[in-house]
Structure formats: C-alpha cells, structure tokens
Structure 1
C-alpha cells in the first residue's frame, strides 16, 4: 500500500470526475479518494473512498485524503448559471483556487487541473479569460509539478439537465475533428475516458515544473 500514489479527486460528480473514477477500477498502484458535495454512485468494482462535504469544508476533506496528487475537475458553464458571471467565477475561479490552496496545505506535490483549450487571461472571451487567469494563479502556488489539461469539446454521457448545443457538437465532432489540422488540431474533441486515462498517466510523474497538455500531447500520453 505504501507504494500506491494517493490521488484526491475534487469534482467527482461531473463528466471528467465520473470518468476518472471509472478508469481507476483495477489500478493497483492508485489509491483514489473522491471529494464531493453529494453522493455519487461508484463504478462497479471500485475500491476507493468517497468523502462527502460542503464546499466550506473541502480543505479538511482534501487533507483527510493525505494526497500525493490532487486532481481538480471542477467547472460550470455560463448557461448553467443563467449568464451570471459572478456565479461562474465562484466555481471556475474561486472554488478551483481554494481547492488548490487546500491541496498545497495538505502536502500534495502534484496538482492536475482540467482547464480548457484556448485558456488565456488576455482573451476577449470571458470563459477563456477566467480559465487563463486561474492557470496563472495556480502557477504562483509553486507545486512541485503542475499539470494543466486543456481539452477541446468533451465527449461522454453527462448527468443533469440536457445541453442541446453540446449534444449536437458531440454528434458532429468526429467529422469536424478531421477538418481541424495544423494549428487548429488542439481544438479537436476528446472523450472523457481518454482524459481520465491521461490523468493517470501523469499522476506521480517526477519531473518538476508547469506542463500544459493539449490535444497532441494528450494523445501521446495515451500511447505510452
């Protein structure tokens, strides 16, 4: 057990969080602890911990997981919060940074965060600007290793209210991906299960520094 990499997953109820829990099944070298606000059905065969807590106590939950690595898979959409930019920032900025600070205080050496392709603080797009701002602030927390995953459109089954536009995008994404070449390749879609596999490929990596993973790098990780 001492040779296992202890991973605390924050954001277990979302598309990526559920994919991470599913991909963890059968990984003997991983001890996964999921932190969530509400109970989530565990995948069949899962051998992991689930810690339920209000967000105000997530720092305690993260610490209880004794993490080597923390994975933050938090996020909402502008539409989900009815266009309320402050409500969006409360999750994608405030809660992400609060969780990252909790991870640092808990002694995690590695932080893996799901961001977005195109994330840049200077972007005129509000969503991408917030994502870029968060990335910049995460770097200033000085983890031994910071991995920023920037996927394009995520494909997979989502729980909760339907997202018609996103569903249409997923239907046509295999065709559209073929048209995204050259510098546009990074905007190709990705299956949630592949992102989860990439997360486990990164977890426990010894090299220090800040690393950004877009489409081609994510595919390379999956070929290891």
Structure 2
C-alpha cells in the first residue's frame, strides 16, 4: 500500500545541492507539492514545483507559504565561507536557516532537514564548524518530530564553481577517497547528485527523532 503524499517546502533550491534535491523530489511519486522559497527565480523541473521570490532574512516574506507542508529542507549557505565576511557568513549560515526553521515549526511542519557539514561542533574554535554546530543546537531546541542533519565532507560537483582552490580539491578528492577508511570514511567526497538524492529520499521515507547522516548513509539512501 502506498503511503500518504508528502508536501515539501525548500529554502536554498537555487544552490548545487538544493537543485539536485529538487530534481529528485520532482520525480518521486510520493511527493505532491514542492514549494520553493528563493531569492531569485529558477527553472522549475516540472508541474509539482511552485516558487516564490522572498527575502530569506525576513520571515514575513515567506511565512504565508509554509502552511500545509509536511517536510522542510534547508540547503541555504554561502558558497565560499573563506572569502565571505564573518558577519555575512553567520547571517546566511546560521541566522537565516534558524529563522526559517522557527517559522516552519510555528506553521506545524514536523520534519526538518538541514544541509550541514561533517565535524560540526558548537564548542569548536573554528568559525565554520562552530557556527554550523550552534545552528544544529538551535534546531534541536525547536522540538521537530524528525530532524535530519546531513554531514557531507567534500561535495563533488561536475564543474568548478568557486575558483582555483576548489579546482584543486575537485581534482584531488576522488583519489583520496579510497584512502579514507574506518572512522575516516565520513570524510569521503560525495557526488552532489548523490547528496541531493539522499536528501530527497530521507524527506519521503518518514521517521522520528534525530538522524545525523554521513557518507555511508548517503550511499545507502541512493
């Protein structure tokens, strides 16, 4: 017997991972409506998806579009944290996702999925992983019935999006991946299409409680 249809709202679908998750969701028969909250219009993958141009920093611009959804997916984040001002990074990678989650929770959405990062810790002295860890702590406090935290290491995209440093990493990481064994497996690179599909599959399979998803889980889901 087929389960109930799932309606999904997404923040960050214009990015690489969000775009892959969107494509996967659009092809799933279990998915009904897909509502996209974007800073700019993007090409839609099919009739299931509708989009609204909003300000991610202002929940008043999107709050009315949240009601009736079952799952929220947040893949919002700056592209190159090392080249982004500290205050801008914190606003985009912590404040905006947390505000979105708070609005989703108030709208009755019980399942929240976040694109985070491997090794996050609210107590770290490193800004990137500390900020992500603080965001996750903030999400836990909201009491979602299902909280899925995706912890990829290097995300392998087909093209170089951010300059020379990423070009080097994209070239080297596939060679390093087989060497990352045992407890280091979670640092293996993941193809962006696999990560996006894993987020889509997790969104429709249901469940309760908190789940931290790393490299092995991505492979299982895809």
TM-score, normalising length: structure 1: 0.89
- What is aligned with 2:174? 174
Stretches of structure 1 that go unaligned for 5 or more consecutive residues are: none
Distance (whole Å) between structure 2 residues aligned to residue 172 and residue 4 of structure 1? 41
2:152 matches 1:151: yes
- What is aligned with 2:24? 23
Stretches of structure 2 that go unaligned for 5 or more consecutive residues are: none
Distance (whole Å) between structure 1 residues aligned to residue 70 and residue 44 of structure 2? 22
Distance (whole Å) between structure 2 residues aligned to residue 179 and residue 107 of structure 1? 44
Count of residues paired in the alignment: 217
Distance of aligned partners of 1:214 and 1:184 in 2 relative to their CA distance in 1, 3 Å threshold = same
Distance (whole Å) between structure 1 residues aligned to residue 164 and residue 38 of structure 2? 26
Distance (whole Å) between structure 1 residues aligned to residue 191 and residue 83 of structure 2? 21
- What is aligned with 2:75? 73
Distance (whole Å) between structure 2 residues aligned to residue 156 and residue 46 of structure 1? 26
| Structure 1 ranges of 4+ moved more than 6 A | none
Give matches, 1:54-93, under 5 Å.
54-58=55-59, 61=62, 63-65=64-66, 66-76=68-78, 77-81=80-84, 84-93=85-94
Q: Does structure 2 retain, via aligned residues, the 8 Å contact 1:5–1:69?
A: yes
Q: Does structure 2 retain, via aligned residues, the 8 Å contact 1:15–1:157?
A: no
Distance (whole Å) between structure 1 residues aligned to residue 60 and residue 6 of structure 2? 20
What SS does the corresponding residue of 2:51 show, helix, strand or coil? strand
Q: Alignment RMSD, CA only?
A: 2.0
